[in-house]
A and B are shown apart, each in its own frame.
With several copies, the nearest count.
Chain A
Amino acid sequence: MQLDFSEEQRALQADVRRFFERACPISTVRKVIDSGDSHDPVLWKQVSEQGFLAAAIPEAFGGAGAGYLELCLVAEEVGRALAPLPAVSSLYQAAELILMTGSDAQKRTWLPRIASGDVIATVAVAEAAGNVAADLISAQVSGGKLTGRKWPVSDGLVADLAIVAARCDQGISLYLVDLASAGVSRRAVKSIDPSRPQAEILFDGVAVELLGAAGEGLGLIDAVRDRAAILVAFEQIGGAQAALDMARDYALGRYAFGRPIGGFQAIKHMLADMYVSLELARSNSYYGAWALATNAPQLPLAAATARVSAIEAYKLCSSNNIQTHGGMGFTWEFDCHLHYRRARYLASVLGTSPLWERKLVAAYRSAA
């Protein structure tokens, strides 16, 4: 049994980590936040040239063809570095959807450009409060034209391509929409994690192209989010580990009452609980990686399990990191809040815990 990554995979991860340490120090994250930019284009170009995030796109479509295990480890480093990149939108979701259900022509058209970073793609499903559900979707396609309003759309302001869930005669379908088309208007909306910006997009009779079978939109979203959930879980454990490391380092260096605050049991046990939560999430995520890489029938259960525990671990680690830092923890100047915000972004972006708890129990049930 090897529920672990190989030495080669660990070596790749170490390379990716060194790359981000060099190319994406926290000042890069803050520059994106302070400027109101969508992402860091230089970093994006470098990452794309390295092929890190295109690890799971087959070489035939311009990807690195390395595989999902490698992509999981890249995601862990993205999370650790708080990298301001449209990975969740463009790679974990849009590229996966096209791979999963696109026609050969669609794959040839889009995947190489997504892999190269020339095209940023996103997925636009939500329109209102609440997790994704058919009755919350009123965007509509008739006569090949899309009309409706989507918000929030992650990376929506900078994306070139959107995969939009909309209503048609057969139910909810997915459509490829070139966001440069006539009839598209969009604006930035303030995001809880300004390093992962959100947009509102209005579609007013925009020409679209069907992706996948008509009427199967929600099933496809569900399927792709099982896959994305595992990649996001790796971002979460990377982020949680970074937050735990920050808290530990601060607890060792900060003195009160003549000793490091990390010597007080209140802090020691809080950090121990963070560690425990993170290890549980990590182990579940490794299992998820196996299920993703092997396309195992256990994928839905593994994805939901990884996601539920990774959401919890990153929430706990990022908020207790603030608590460990005391007053400095809630300043803008310290980086604690960047993890707290990112933890919330990652907890929301593929649908929130209540949705995944349902999925977990449903999957467990059908597995038993």
Chain B
Amino acid sequence: MNFDDTPEEAAFRARARAWIADNAPHALKPELEVAGFGHLHLQSTDALAASKAWQKKKAGAGWAAPRWPKIYGGGEVSPIEQVIWGQEEGVYAKLAGPFVIGLGMCGPTVMHWASEEQKRSLLPRLAAGEDIWCQLFSEPVAGSDLAGIRTRAERDGDEWVINGQKIWTSGALDADWGLLITRTDPGVAKHRGLTMFFLDMKSPGVEVRPIRQMNQESSFNEVYFTDVRIPDAQRLGAVGEGWSVALTTLMNERQSIGGSMPTGVPELFDLCRDMDLLDDGAVIARLAKFAARSSGLRYTAFRSISALSRGEQPGPENSIGKLVAGSLMQEVAQFALDLEGEAGLVEDPLLAVHQGRFQAMLLRSPATRIEGGSDEILRNIIAERVLGLPADIRVDKDLPFKEIPSGAAAR
């Protein structure tokens, strides 16, 4: 038990740190430090341009996609080295927002399923931030039930014609490429009639509409397809094999390790200190329970890092992060507003207590409990994959897709 690097890790860390000291956009640091949840906004410069510049610079030195093969624009570092890189990159990692989906999900899928030629043309541009990728999976009627998607792809010679709608697509407005799952055969069982493509987002017939969230930000979009044409060469995997391709993508979704998610607990401590409430028994009781959960998340992430450092795969403990963090942040926000009294009604960053950060948490945390796997889906995953309990009964498993009941909400 120790919190020290191995000698190899220490050497790597020193190298990363030195490179960052020489190359990072230090002028942006103060702004990045206070940047909150959601889309990055910068006062001093265009955030997307700053993001692209930093990504490009990282790519030149192999830091852009640290784990990837060098031939595809990567740095070929080990898993623990990637974690160390992330620790050292610190606030500058907030600049990577536009590339997270591409690097974390689309890239690995392309790497597994595309032709060598495609990989060599697409991946280095992705790594260098020259192309932005988005993931076109969820649909209005297919959220937790992803295999229920309905966007049609119909073959027309060497091309496919796409019609339908996707939703919850992060970054679609800026994206150059999209990873698109479609239904090519509604006459077979739902998991069997799917096919995956990658799509030029500038193709005719693609329309992106931002979704306004309850907190008035727009992190997500709807994407509509009207007779959009995709060359068959941009198919990933065989026709009807789309579900297997999607599993590659989704498995990568859950692999991010390193930081634990924000919980609001340190901020709540600051609030209580400023309000002189740290001797109030009611505050102590809640604060201690919150802190114990937050601390548990932190050291759970440390355990995963320790496994990487030993060269092992982290265990299932990593699966609890978002489930705990989402509702913890919501409870923390509600409790903070309880402490603020009537002043908690004010959202105005200029007037509100602690710049309105708890009001922002209150309005952001419901999304955390849903996006990327709802609390209910995560509990099912833990129950089934970690504890080995039986899967839910699926009444639609063997039905032809078009015969599956879909209710009024589907129309």
- A residues bordering B, Cβ < 8 Å? 1-5, 69, 125-126, 128-132, 151-152, 154, 189-193, 198, 200, 244, 248, 250-260, 262-269, 271-273, 275-276, 279-284, 286-287, 289-290, 293-294, 304-305, 308-309, 312, 315, 319, 322-323, 326-333, 336-337, 340-341, 344-345, 347-349, 351-358, 360-361, 364-365, 368
Cβ–Cβ contact B379 & A192, under 8 A:
no
Cβ–Cβ contact A360 & B389, under 8 A:
no
Given A253-B409, A280-B293: A293 and B392 within 8 A (CB)?
no
Which among A191, A345, A349, A361 has the greatest number of chain B C-beta atoms within 10 A? A361
Q: Whole-angstrom distance between the alpha carbons of A364 and B300 in the complex? A: 19
CB-CB under 8 A from A69, the residues of chain B are: 1
CB-CB under 8 A from A348, the residues of chain B are: 337, 340-342, 344-345
A132-B342, A348-B341 given; 12 more Cβ-contact pairs under 8 Å: A3-B306, A4-B307, A129-B340, A190-B347, A258-B406, A259-B396, A268-B383, A276-B382, A280-B293, A309-B295, A330-B213, A337-B366
CB-CB under 8 A from A257, the residues of chain B are: 145, 148, 392, 394-396
Choose from A191, A251, A289, A323 the contact partner of B366 (Cβ within 8 Å).
A323
Q: Whole-angstrom distance between the alpha carbons of A248 and B303 in the complex? A: 24
Q: Whole-angstrom distance between the alpha carbons of A5 and B310 in the complex? A: 11
Q: Whole-angstrom distance between the alpha carbons of A245 and B68 in the complex? A: 39
Name the segment of B26-34, B125-133, B224-232, B370-378 touching the other chain. Answer: B370-378
The 17 listed contacts between A and B (C-beta, < 8 Å) are: A2-B309, A257-B394, A264-B376, A268-B380, A269-B376, A272-B378, A272-B386, A275-B386, A276-B382, A281-B296, A283-B298, A283-B299, A322-B370, A332-B211, A332-B212, A348-B341, A352-B344
Interface positions of B from 200 to 217, Cβ below 8 Å from A: 211-216
Number of residue pairs spanning A and B whose beta carbons lie under 8 angstroms apart: 330
Q: Whole-angstrom distance between the alpha carbons of A143 and B2 in the complex? A: 48
Interface of chain B: mostly helix, strand, loop or mixed: helix
Q: Whole-angstrom distance between the alpha carbons of A129 and B357 in the complex? A: 14
Judge whether B399 is part of the interface by a CB distance below 8 angstroms: yes
Cβ–Cβ contact B214 & A340, under 8 A:
yes
Chain A, Cβ-Cβ closest to B354: A129
Cβ–Cβ contact B341 & A283, under 8 A:
no
Cβ–Cβ contact A352 & B375, under 8 A:
no
Cβ–Cβ contact B320 & A280, under 8 A:
yes
Cβ–Cβ contact A1 & B305, under 8 A:
yes
Given A286-B299, A286-B303, A331-B213: A260 and B370 within 8 A (CB)?
no
Chain A, Cβ-Cβ closest to B369: A323
Per-residue CB contact flags for chain B residues 334-366 toward chain A (1 = under 8 Å, else 0) read 100111111111111001010000010011001
Given A329-B366, A352-B338: A290 and B292 within 8 A (CB)?
no
Judge whether B388 is part of the interface by a CB distance below 8 angstroms: yes
Chain A, Cβ-Cβ closest to B218: A332
CB distance from B183 to the nearest CB of A (A): 15
CB-CB under 8 A from A272, the residues of chain B are: 378-380, 382-383, 386-387
CB-CB under 8 A from B138, the residues of chain A are: 327
Choose from B4, B299, B339, B348 the contact partner of A129 (Cβ within 8 Å).
B339
Interface positions of B from 274 to 317, Cβ below 8 Å from A: 275, 278, 281-282, 284-285, 287-289, 291-293, 295-300, 302-303, 305-307, 309-310, 317
Cβ–Cβ contact A280 & B371, under 8 A:
no
